[in-house]
Chain A
Amino acid sequence: MDWNANCPVPLGRHERVLMAHGGGGRLMQQLIAAVFRPAFDNPLLETRHDGAALRLPQGGRLAFTTDSYVVRPLFFPGGDIGSLAVNGTVNDLAMCGARPLWLSCGFILEEGFEIAALQRVVESMRRAADAAGVVLVTGDTKVVERGKGDGLYVNTAGIGALEHERVIGPGSVRPGDRILVSGDLGRHGIAILAARESLGFETEIQSDCAPLAAPVLALLEAGVDVRCLRDLTRGGLGAALNEIARDSGHDVRVEEAAVPVREDVAGACEILGLDPLYVANEGRLVAFVAPEHGGRALEVLRRHEATAGAVEIGVVQESREGQVTLATRFGSLRLLDLPSGEQLPRIC
């Protein structure tokens, strides 16, 4: 067991980066805890949420976030690296309860990449930005030699306005809070897999990639007491619930029978041996709301197309363990753990 002198979390035997370190699961958490946090530690980073909520010296609050996109293939049913890059960052801002306003975008292009493909990506970004009501205000382009870049990597950073004083994050979660999910799980991950030739299967499933700012702002406007929001990406619902449970210090109980999964996604998971609870999404969120607002929150979410399938799936519990348990349809209980490494490589 290797111990990093600065951090009590063992990195295990890994001296090199593994694909699993990018999986959104336990290994990635270890990497962050053992390498990044000791170097960069500060109270804002400690909040461990998708974006940082910042106060300007002269008053007023902003939310700030960044994300990089390395998805393969670049174009897939229901989206592409461009629409992902815009919606992913828009959604991270929305998860802070912010109104997304401005994005930056950095491109790392590999020598030999087709300009026509780049054009398609950029046009897709423009459409996504328009739909989400954000503007791209600054950017950067770099080119690396053939063989050093795998086509195209994109980074976006975003700024949004926090028009309220609420603290929306794991720290606000309380026992009794209702847990809602905005729609059925796993479409993005399966759509990406289907687009990869090596697995050779056909399906009609499209990625659920979509902007979520409008339904979130509607929740806030309706006076719903939103404690925490998280968009579900790598590691799926399982990863998101575990992170929030751990960071809030409370337990989470989920009803298996309440979790929505479409039959064809379930079928794909069966043949590939995947668990839909851990498969990636791109246009789905999980919301923790005050107990008395559960009904109102569902009403509001169901009025918006992207969150029309919202349902309640669980509740926050008293214990201070930070674990997630699943009540199976058979009446037994089991842990819903953080996935160890990657289920599906490079899905976002």
Chain B
Amino acid sequence: MCLAVPGKVLSVLGDDPIARSGRVDFSGIVKEVNLAFVPEAKVGDYVLVHVGLAIATIDEEEAQHTLDALRQIEALDQELQ
């Protein structure tokens, strides 16, 4: 039910904000997705899609921070061993 998947915006159609949609690529599967809730999303951005609508733009910087935090844990592990 809370299944939401990240995909890359390939193209955006429509000026009408409510009906604004885009073709989104999920690792080789392309689906049309409603982009009304992510007015800031542009081609090349990654969005999080739930039941056919994008509910967020993925913040690549934050994603990197999460992975960096993991690397710090690895470094700490190595120190302690």
Contacts and interface: CB of A to CB of B under 8 A. Distances in A.
A, B bound: yes
Interface of A: 190, 194, 200-205, 262-264, 266-268, 270-271, 273
Interface in B1-36: 3, 5, 7, 26-32
A266 B49 CA distance: 16
B31 A201 contact: yes
Contact of A264 (B5, B7, B29, B49): B29
A257 B26 CA distance: 21
A105 B3 CA distance: 43
Interface residues of B, number: 11
B interface majority secondary structure: strand
For B7, B28, B31, B32, which residue has the most chain A Cβ atoms within 10 angstroms? B28
B32 A203 contact: no
Contact of A266 (B3, B7, B27, B30): B27
A202 B30 contact: yes
Contacts of B30: 201-203
Contacts of A264: 27-29
5 contacts: A194-B29, A201-B31, A205-B29, A268-B29, A271-B26
B3 A201 contact: no
Given A270-B5, A271-B5, A204 B28 contact: yes
Given A264-B27, A267-B26, A267-B27, 12 more contacts: A200-B31, A200-B32, A201-B31, A204-B28, A263-B28, A264-B28, A266-B27, A268-B29, A270-B5, A270-B26, A271-B7, A271-B49
Contacts of A203: 28-30
A205 B28 CA distance: 9
B35 to A, nearest CB: 15
Contacts of A267: 26-29
A268 B28 CA distance: 8
B12 to A, nearest CB: 16
A263 B27 contact: yes
- List the 6 shortest-distance A-B pairs measured between CB atoms, nearest first: A264-B28, A267-B27, A267-B26, A201-B31, A202-B30, A268-B29
B6 to A, nearest CB: 9
